[in-house]
């Protein structure tokens, strides 16, 4: 007894559209375009690698809305705020300030007065941000990194000076928080260090059926060449990149398809590889689903590091490869194997030795500009810096350190106020932090504590990093007057602060040397851990390949009794179906043979398949026919070619 499956194709059997033909994808094999506006100023750690690119806030066109002034203020004046379990900083600071020093007592008195009648001076007690409101003229809440076209031109932002009347009443607080978080961070910041990209390796070229026909060479034999392998997808660290902004415009990367084989046993050429360039310090994750972060696949830390992400599909075999002792005239060739595809999430954590943190307008960018060759934008308003700036500080040829100037942090940043605090992830790889305090602010101690708290709320490990405090703007009398009380206060906590005037370049050298010392100590400490070998960077490609080359006899069968349909599912079988070229009559014979050889037919019979049932294997839909055949393996003679509907050609 023998059985056959007659083949007819459902729409599912149609080949997938060939993406490589899409004119939009032209040139995708090339590396992403560099951002035209970036300034190239600074160099990498040891001055030998290609220069790093410095992105300054001045290049960005977006701003964010600042929180209402009430959110910064004293909890005693706002019951809803006081009830928040999240931040009790204002309370604690005020209590601590009153402990033992005169200037703090004065502040405390002011606080008492304020709770009485003089409301205007509330603002003076804390930061002056209540006076400014940055607003979006045309903000689109849905716009995100993938909204390519509205990036530079369509978003218009303004900067408004006003006495804010917003009263924070605590109602809908959570929703407000969420909204602030969503909308508060400018698009350019969201895309600076995060991106989602699609990568696909090239499909293999098809094999062909051809026969040698030459004068004086009778029965020349099969001569169809194999298709070429599809191009691979690599990911590589480009030392001159320091952001993921190029992925805002270009997120699809497809390698080239292998060429088809030709007569005279000519094999097709390999498809063009594609290299996705990323900045140093990029983490590559599999794209997560339903808000769950995907698994980390790679972490690229060194310029020039290159990993093979996806191997191109195998080329289909031509009929010359099918010649055998029993079949000397094979009329069969394979399709090329489809290249695998992946959605990836990229996250950048800058690689710097020292991170400069502090409240907005404290003078962080000014400090970076005087200690390195970096030229960040400096201006007398908060949030001048929207994107981190990198600079290299060099003491001599061997002693250098990379310093990152970060956007300003303010109290409530963990709730999305100001620019939020997501950018703090760029300090995670720093060995030390320099905390710049604006000496001319109303309460430098308050500012210091607020920023420390935000660091802690972002990550306790970050708060534990070695840091030093630089009290800035000492050239101003308001600052120099506050210096001694500030110093006393910090000394009481076991911190020895530095004072400096970044503008006059006074005291900056001491700060830099102290920071370098912290970095050096950290490097010494980590030396004991030893150099960590990044290991095999091609493991992603190997993992994908392993999944795809699963044995053909590993499959599962499920039955839908309602429609009498049998589903045979297995990656090996799926790949086999995809590579079968139904144009050639021998392909059906081979397909039937493989189904029998790998046990599909046997399993179906065992499970009770009946005449007329539908069997779906991969993308193929077939009808099962029982029939008796006494002629052994030549049962294929009973196949009816007429019943076959050919799939759309690839
Ligand atoms: N008088 C004086 N002004 C300073 C000093 N350092 C910085 N400034 C001024 O303070 C203002 C803010 O300086 P920035 O370096 O932009 O401050 P920032 O901390 O980077 O500010 P954001 O990027 O907005 O967070 C500028 O007008 C600087 O000129 C200083 O030592 N003395
Ligand atoms: Mg700045």
Question: Which among 162, 95, 104 is positioned nearest to 132, based on CA atoms?
Answer: 162
616-627 mean pLDDT: 80
Q: Ligand 2: distance of its center to the CA of 385 in Å?
A: 4
Query: Is any ligand 1 atom within 6 A of the Cβ of residue 503?
Result: yes
**Confidence band, pLDDT 50/70/90 cuts, at residue 532:** low
Phi, psi of 400 (to 5 degrees): -135, 160
Are residues 366 and 330 both part of a single domain? no
387-393 mean pLDDT: 88
Q: Indicate whether 436 belongs to any domain.
A: yes
Coil, helix or strand for 28? coil
198 Cβ contact list (under 8 Å, min separation 6):
251, 252, 253, 341, 342, 343, 344
Query: Is any ligand 1 atom within 6 A of the Cβ of residue 408?
Result: yes
Rounded to 10 degrees, what is the CA torsion of 115, 117, 123, 126?
-20
Query: Is any ligand 1 atom within 6 A of the Cβ of residue 362?
Result: yes
Are residues 326 and 379 both part of a single domain? no
Residue 209 contacts residue 224 (beta carbons within 8 Å): yes
Question: What would the two tokens of residue 76 be?
Answer: 């005693």
Are residues 368 and 466 both part of a single domain? yes
Q: From edge to edge, which strands make up the β-sheet containing 498-499?
A: 389-394, 400-405, 354-358, 432-438, 467-472, 498-499
* Percentage of the chain lying above the pLDDT 90 cut: 30
Find the CATH number of the domain harbouring 406. Answer: 3.40.50.300
Q: Indicate whether 225 belongs to any domain.
A: yes
Q: Please tell me the least confidently modeled range out of 213-217, 263-267, 269-273, 343-347.
A: 213-217
337 Cβ contact list (under 8 Å, min separation 6):
203, 204, 230, 313, 314, 315, 316, 548, 575, 578, 579
Are residues 499 and 580 both part of a single domain? no
Q: Indicate whether 369 belongs to any domain.
A: yes
pLDDT tens sequence across 174-204: 555 555 454 556 666 667 788 999 999 999 9
Q: Which helix (H) or strand (E) holds 605?
A: helix 600-607
Are residues 102 and 217 both part of a single domain? no
Are residues 564 and 582 both part of a single domain? yes
What per-residue confidence (pLDDT) applies to 185?
60
Ligand whose nearest atom lies closest to the CA of 132:
1
Last residue of a domain, one of 161, 191, 221: 191
Place of tokens 């992925």: 247
Phi, psi of 501 (to 5 degrees): -125, 105
Place of tokens 């480009």: 238
Phi, psi of 516 (to 5 degrees): -60, -40
Question: Which among 513, 596, 603 is positioned nearest to 556, based on CA atoms?
Answer: 603
311-318 mean pLDDT: 94
Phi, psi of 217 (to 5 degrees): -120, 80
Q: Indicate whether 54 belongs to any domain.
A: no
Are residues 276 and 308 both part of a single domain? yes
Question: Which among 307, 232, 310 is positioned nearest to 277, based on CA atoms?
Answer: 307
Are residues 222 and 316 both part of a single domain? yes
* Smallest CA separation from ligand 1 atom 7, residue: 363
Q: Ligand 1: distance of its center to the CA of 526 in Å?
A: 34
pLDDT tens sequence across 294-314: 889 999 988 889 999 999 999
Q: Ligand 2: distance of its center to the CA of 126 in Å?
A: 20
Tell me the β-bridge partners of 300.
Answer: 282
Q: Is the pLDDT of residue 232 over 60?
A: yes
Last residue of a domain, one of 191, 215, 237: 191
What per-residue confidence (pLDDT) applies to 533?
60
Phi, psi of 423 (to 5 degrees): -65, -15
Are residues 180 and 200 both part of a single domain? no
What per-residue confidence (pLDDT) applies to 421?
78
Find the CATH number of the domain harbouring 317. Answer: 2.70.210.12
Phi, psi of 292 (to 5 degrees): -95, 130
**Confidence band, pLDDT 50/70/90 cuts, at residue 500:** very high
Q: Indicate whether 542 belongs to any domain.
A: no
pLDDT tens sequence across 578-610: 999 888 878 888 888 888 888 888 888 888 888
What per-residue confidence (pLDDT) applies to 547?
82
Quick one: which atom of ligand 1 is closest to the CA of 368? 15
> Per the confidence metrics, is the pTM higher than 0.90?
no
Quick one: which atom of ligand 1 is closest to the CA of 382? 24
Q: Indicate whether 543 belongs to any domain.
A: no
Q: Which residue from 56, 357, 361 has its CB within 8 A of the most atoms of ligand 1, so it is best to mutate?
A: 361
Question: Which H, E and C letters describe 215-274, residue by residue?
Answer: CCECCCCECCCCCCCCCCEEEEECCCCCCCHHHHCCCEEECCCCCCCECCCECCCCCCCE
Residue 23: alpha-carbon gap to chain centroid: 26
Which is more confidently placed, 387 or 121? 387
524-551 mean pLDDT: 77
Tell me the ipTM for this assembly: 0.99
Q: Is the pLDDT of residue 647 over 80?
A: no
Query: Is any ligand 1 atom within 6 A of the Cβ of residue 607?
Result: no
Are residues 571 and 592 both part of a single domain? yes
Are residues 416 and 289 both part of a single domain? no
Q: Which residue from 386, 438, 503 has its CB within 8 A of the most atoms of ligand 1, so it is best to mutate?
A: 503
* Smallest CA separation from ligand 1 atom 16, residue: 378
Quick one: which atom of ligand 1 is closest to the CA of 502? 31
Are residues 134 and 102 both part of a single domain? yes
Q: Ligand 1: distance of its center to the CA of 502 in Å?
A: 8
Q: Indicate whether 540 belongs to any domain.
A: no
Query: Is any ligand 1 atom within 6 A of the Cβ of residue 383?
Result: yes
Last residue of a domain, one of 527, 560, 590: 527
CB burial of residue 637 (10 Å; 0-12, 13-18, 19+): exposed
Q: Ligand 1: distance of its center to the CA of 641 in Å?
A: 81
Q: Indicate whether 451 belongs to any domain.
A: yes
Question: Which among 430, 429, 505, 503 is positioned nearest to 468, based on CA atoms?
Answer: 430
46-69 mean pLDDT: 31
Place of tokens 């990911």: 235
User: How many domains does the chain contain in total?
Assistant: 4
Query: Is any ligand 1 atom within 6 A of the Cβ of residue 255?
Result: no
Q: Ligand 1: distance of its center to the CA of 461 in Å?
A: 28
Kindly report the average pLDDT of the chain as a whole number: 72
- Whole-number Å distance between alpha carbons of 266 and 326: 24
Query: Is any ligand 1 atom within 6 A of the Cβ of residue 382?
Result: yes
Query: Is any ligand 1 atom within 6 A of the Cβ of residue 478?
Result: no
Tell me the residue range of the domain where 330 lies: 194-348
């Amino acid at each position: 007894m023998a059985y056959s499956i007659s083949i007819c194709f459902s729409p599912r059997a149609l080949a997938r559209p060939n993406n490589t033909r899409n004119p939009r994808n032209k040139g995708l094999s090339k590396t992403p375009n560099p951002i035209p506006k970036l300034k190239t100023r600074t160099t990498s750690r040891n001055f030998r690698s290609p220069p790093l690119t410095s992105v300054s806030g001045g290049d960005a066109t977006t701003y964010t809305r600042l929180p209402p002034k009430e959110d910064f203020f004293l909890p005693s004046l706002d019951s809803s705020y006081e009830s928040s379990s999240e931040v009790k900083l204002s309370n604690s600071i005020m209590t601590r300030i009153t402990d033992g020093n005169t200037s703090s007592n004065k502040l405390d008195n002011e606080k008492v007065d304020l709770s009485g009648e003089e409301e205007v001076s509330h603002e003076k007690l804390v930061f002056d941000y209540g006076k400014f409101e940055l607003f979006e003229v045309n903000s689109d809440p849905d716009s995100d990194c993938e909204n390519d076209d509205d990036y530079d031109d369509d978003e218009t932002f303004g900067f408004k000076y006003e006495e804010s009347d917003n009263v924070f009443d605590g109602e809908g607080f959570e929703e407000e928080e969420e909204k602030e978080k969503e909308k508060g961070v400018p698009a350019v910041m969201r895309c600076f260090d995060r991106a989602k990209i699609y990568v696909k390796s090239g499909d293999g070229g098809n094999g062909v059926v051809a026969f040698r026909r030459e004068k004086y060479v009778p029965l020349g034999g099969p001569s169809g060449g194999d298709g070429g392998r599809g191009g691979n997808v690599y990911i590589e660290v480009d030392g001159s990149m320091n952001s993921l902004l190029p992925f805002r415009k270009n997120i699809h990367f497809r390698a080239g398809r292998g060429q088809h084989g030709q007569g005279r046993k000519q094999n097709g050429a390999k498809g063009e590889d594609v290299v996705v360039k990323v900045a140093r310090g990029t983490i590559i994750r599999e794209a997560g689903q339903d808000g769950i972060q995907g698994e980390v696949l790679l972490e690229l830390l060194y310029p020039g590091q290159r990993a093979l992400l996806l191997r191109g599909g195998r080329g289909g075999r031509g009929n010359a490869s099918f010649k055998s002792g029993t079949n000397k005239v094979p009329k069969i060739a394979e399709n090329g194997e489809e290249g695998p595809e992946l959605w990836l999430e990229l996250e950048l954590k800058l690689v710097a030795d020292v991170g400069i943190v502090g409240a907005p307008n404290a003078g962080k960018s000014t400090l970076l500009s005087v200690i390195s060759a970096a030229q960040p934008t400096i201006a007398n308003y908060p949030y001048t810096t929207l994107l981190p700036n990198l600079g290299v500080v060099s003491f001599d040829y061997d002693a250098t350190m990379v310093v990152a100037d970060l956007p300003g942090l303010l109290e409530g940043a963990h709730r999305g106020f100001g620019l939020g605090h997501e950018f703090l992830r760029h300090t995670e790889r720093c060995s030390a932090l320099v905390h710049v305090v604006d000496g001319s602010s109303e309460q430098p101690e308050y500012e210091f504590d607020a920023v420390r708290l935000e660091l802690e709320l972002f990550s306790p490990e970050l708060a534990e990093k070695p840091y030093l405090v630089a009290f800035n703007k000492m050239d101003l009398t308001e600052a120099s007057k506050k210096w001694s009380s500030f110093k006393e206060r910090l000394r009481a906590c076991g911190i020895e602060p530095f004072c400096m005037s970044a503008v006059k370049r006074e005291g900056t050298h001491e700060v830099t040397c102290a920071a370098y010392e912290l970095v050096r100590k950290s490097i010494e400490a980590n030396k004991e851990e030893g150099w960590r070998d990044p290991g095999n960077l091609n493991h992603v490609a190997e993992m994908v390949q392993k999944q795809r080359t699963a044995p053909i006899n590993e499959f599962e069968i499920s039955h839908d009794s309602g429609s009498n349909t049998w589903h045979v599912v297995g990656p090996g079988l799926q790949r086999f179906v995809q590579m079968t070229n139904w144009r050639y009559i021998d392909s059906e014979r081979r397909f039937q043979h493989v189904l029998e050889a790998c046990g599909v037919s046997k399993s179906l019979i065992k499970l009770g398949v009946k005449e007329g049932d539908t069997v779906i294997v991969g993308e193929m839909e077939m009808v099962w026919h029982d029939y008796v055949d006494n002629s052994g393996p030549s049962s294929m003679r009973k196949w009816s070619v007429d019943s076959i509907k050919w799939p759309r050609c690839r």
